[in-house]
Structures are given as C-alpha cells and as structure tokens.
C-alpha cells in the first residue's frame, strides 16, 4: 500500500514540475513578446509620418464608433 501511495506522490510531483516548466516558458515568451512590441512601437515612432498616421487612426476609430452606435440604435426590439 505504501508503494502505491509513494508512486502516486511521485507522479503528482512530476506533473507539478511539468506544469511549473510550462508556466515558466509562458512567462518567458510573454516577456519576449512585450520587448518585441515595445521595440516595434519605438521603431514606428521614429518614422516620418507617425503623427499623421495616429491622427488618421483616431478619425477612423471615431467614424467606426459612430457607425456602431447607429447600428445599436437601429436594433431596438419591436413588440
């Protein structure tokens, strides 16, 4: 009976260690992606038309937002 409990404990320990390894890898990849995103953003900021592109995106988002509000208003239920 003790060997069965011991082997179960060993199996659970191995599973926990495997999960710890997976979580650590995910954390490492997340940190890498963060660094990559920040680097990409800083590179884009150095481009000549950055400010104009930001203004264009703001206008586009405002237009899409107003279209969404119009669509939501037209969805009223009829009883």
For 31-78, the pLDDT digits (tens) are: 999 999 999 999 999 999 999 999 999 999 999 998 887 777 777 655
Q: Which residues contact 44 (CB under 8 A, 6 or more apart)?
A: 50
* 2 against 39, higher pLDDT: 39
pLDDT in tens, 8-21: 999 999 999 999 99
The answer to whether the pTM exceeds 0.75 is no
| Predicted confidence (pLDDT) at residue 4 exceeds the cutoff of 70 | yes
- Please tell me the predicted confidence (pLDDT) of residue 76: 60
CA distance 50 to 1: 70
């Amino acid at each position: 009976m003790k060997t069965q409990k011991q082997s179960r404990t060993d199996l659970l320990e191995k599973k926990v260690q495997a999960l710890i390894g997976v979580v650590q890898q995910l954390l490492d990849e997340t940190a890498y992606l963060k660094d990559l995103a920040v680097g990409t953003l800083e590179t884009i900021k150095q481009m000549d038309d950055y400010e104009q592109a930001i203004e264009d995106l703001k206008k586009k988002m405002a237009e899409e937002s107003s279209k969404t509000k119009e669509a939501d208003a037209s969805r009223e239920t009829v009883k």
